[in-house]
Structure 1
Amino acid sequence: MKTLQEQLSLTGKTALVTGGAGYLGSSISETLAELGADVIIASRNLQKCREWCEKLRRRFPSIQATPLKIDLIDPHSVQLAFETIHQQTSGLDILVNNAWSGRKSSLESATEESWRHDLEMSLTSVFRCVRHAIPGLKKKRGVILNITSMYGHVAPDYRLYQGNQHVNPPGYGAAKAGVIQLSKYMASFLSPYGIRVNCLSPGPFPHPEAQQDKVFMQRLAERNPLGRIGQPEELKGAVALMCSDASSYMTGQHLSVDGGWSIW
């Protein structure tokens, strides 16, 4: 019988984190490195990935941290990135679909273009990455963790938002809801290969830029049962659970880390 420490260990495993040098992605990739995994940090901003990889290598000298350029809304870029991964590794043990980019907009201000971008960025990119990762994941009986959002399963409270500065676009929530369902679908059809697929939905973890708006931050905090916003390191425990053998009998599940946001 494995001890809890043994279950949580990722030593010898290889993980890819899209958006792994970003605000939440950096805590996710740091968690995997801290548990012993070699990490591949992928995004469009290769320099940012390089800088974060260097920090991870200094902090965790026993692991490898590799930057990788990928544009998730470009099918050719995704294909090339995974070809590189397959050439340099024996396959992924862990795939974390985390990356996001987009603009704030309301139902009325969103455009056809922004709607399509949100679906491509948040939903279709997950499909693309998983499809390319499957061969390696089959070899390793790997794990997929899809980062979704509280707005994939609850609606934004319109009373929190004034104007379009902070409001989540309609395509974002629709896409994240799609990821939750897609994860369940994948969990079913990949289970014969021992591949587990789960979701993690962060609650209010506003980016540092949004945190400059103290009035908005106060409204967010007051809306939440725990009375505050989340900090990136508060995702680490859930990531450690979902990406390790500590969750070996969990698949197709949706875990919320939201300070209780979704209970109301």
Structure 2
Amino acid sequence: MNSWLEKKRIVVIGGTAGIGLSAARTFVQHGASVVVIGLGEESTAGEIESMLGGAGVVMLGDARETSTASTAISLCLDTFGGFDGLYHVAGGSGRRFGDGPLHTLTKEAWEKTFDLNLTALMLSNQAAVRAFLEQGSGGSILNVTSVLGYSPSPAYFTTHAYAAAKSAVFGFVKSVASYYASYNIRINALAPALVETPMSQRAAGDDQIRRFIETKQPLDGGRLGRPADLDGAAVYFMSDASNYTTGQTLSIDGGWTISDGQV
């Protein structure tokens, strides 16, 4: 295994399941030390730490809380002696709050969906930028957004607050990346389509949606994405290979944005 991330110290926000957990394991395989933040039980945290060996520690916390990301970065500094990168994965569907078509959307559902998908991301990015500025070292921030932020699918994925929040990430990334480029702080994003995670269980269990995905995400047999499909790009953005890349969004979508999809 090539050591793309040799001696890198990375914080993964939303790393106790799905895309974030897959990335944390891959980061360690490539030579990094990681602090993983997420929701779950203490037993889950212990299992993940065992999986990561001595190269990973787990902190349970909610990314929507103001102090969570800064506490995680402090833990990274104290445990591994530095902080080089932030990978923000935390987010999720707002359906449980009432997110849906605009004519049924409530103000409460809008605000909770934005807290989960945009405010939490802002807080983690803010904490990372502050740490990089204090260190004077530069660093890399990578955020997970969604193709639904710019490529809607009204037949099966109609959550307008979620789409708005994910779309806002694109503008946030470009604006922040522009401001901090002279400090060698890089901010980029990944935009996946439907990936097999706890969040996607509703869609993954629906036969109609599965048939739609076969034509909307036609790569590799028309399957749902897997968390590991994002790992290679995440390694690139966390590594020195991306030292000349900032303000970019990379879609990893199985062909979603270039395919009609048959309803």
- What is the aligned partner in structure 2 of residue 164 from structure 1? none
- 1:79 deviates by 4.6
CA distance in 2, matches of 1:83, 1:215: 46
- What is the aligned partner in structure 2 of residue 106 from structure 1? 100
Q: Does 1:144 pair with 2:141?
A: yes
Q: How does 1:145-184 map to 2 (within 5 A)?
A: 145-155=142-152, 157-159=153-155, 161=156, 167-184=157-174
CA distance in 2, matches of 1:103, 1:262: 22
- 1:94 deviates by 0.8
SS in 1 for 2:250: strand
Q: 1:258 aligns with which of 217, 233, 253?
A: 253
Question: In structure 2, do the counterparts of structure 1 residues 71 and 206 end up closer, same or farther at CA, with 3 Å as the change threshold?
Answer: same
Q: Deviations over 1:177-215 (max 9, x none)?
A: 111111111111111211111111111214362323233
- What is the aligned partner in structure 1 of residue 24 from structure 2? 29
* Contact in 1 for aligned 2:13/2:69 (Cα 8 Å): no
SS in 2 for 1:158: coil
CA distance in 1, matches of 2:117, 2:241: 27
SS in 1 for 2:18: coil
TM-score (norm 1): 0.84
CA distance in 2, matches of 1:239, 1:84: 22
Q: Does 1:49 pair with 2:45?
A: yes
- What is the aligned partner in structure 2 of residue 128 from structure 1? 123
Q: Does 1:215 pair with 2:213?
A: no
Q: Which runs of 5+ in 1 are unaligned?
A: 58-62, 162-166
Q: 2:88 aligns with which of 83, 93, 97?
A: 97
Alignment-mate amino acid for residue 165 of structure 2: A
- 1:87 deviates by 4.3
Question: In structure 2, do the counterparts of structure 1 residues 257 and 109 end up closer, same or farther at CA, with 3 Å as the change threshold?
Answer: same
Q: 2:175 aligns with which of 177, 180, 185?
A: 185
- 1:46 deviates by 4.9
CA distance in 2, matches of 1:46, 1:87: 23
CA distance in 2, matches of 1:110, 1:74: 24
- 1:101 deviates by 3.5
* Contact in 1 for aligned 2:148/2:166 (Cα 8 Å): yes
Question: In structure 2, do the counterparts of structure 1 residues 202 and 141 end up closer, same or farther at CA, with 3 Å as the change threshold?
Answer: same
- 1:81 deviates by 4.0
TM-score (norm 2): 0.85
SS in 2 for 1:219: helix
Q: 2:57 aligns with which of 48, 52, 66?
A: 66
CA distance in 2, matches of 1:126, 1:218: 32
* Contact in 1 for aligned 2:128/2:141 (Cα 8 Å): no
- What is the aligned partner in structure 1 of residue 10 from structure 2? 15
Alignment-mate amino acid for residue 173 of structure 2: S
Alignment-mate amino acid for residue 202 of structure 1: P
Q: Deviations over 1:71-113 (max 9, x none)?
A: 1222244454444445445442010111113442421443222
Alignment-mate amino acid for residue 205 of structure 2: Q
Question: In structure 2, do the counterparts of structure 1 residues 80 and 238 end up closer, same or farther at CA, with 3 Å as the change threshold?
Answer: closer
Count of matched residue positions in the alignment of Structure 1 and Structure 2:
247
Question: In structure 2, do the counterparts of structure 1 residues 222 and 123 end up closer, same or farther at CA, with 3 Å as the change threshold?
Answer: same
- 1:257 deviates by 0.4
SS in 2 for 1:250: coil
Range 23-32 or range 140-149, more displaced: 23-32
CA distance in 2, matches of 1:234, 1:54: 23
CA-based RMSD: 2.2
Range 131-140 or range 178-187, more displaced: 131-140
Segments of 4+ moved more than 6 angstroms = none
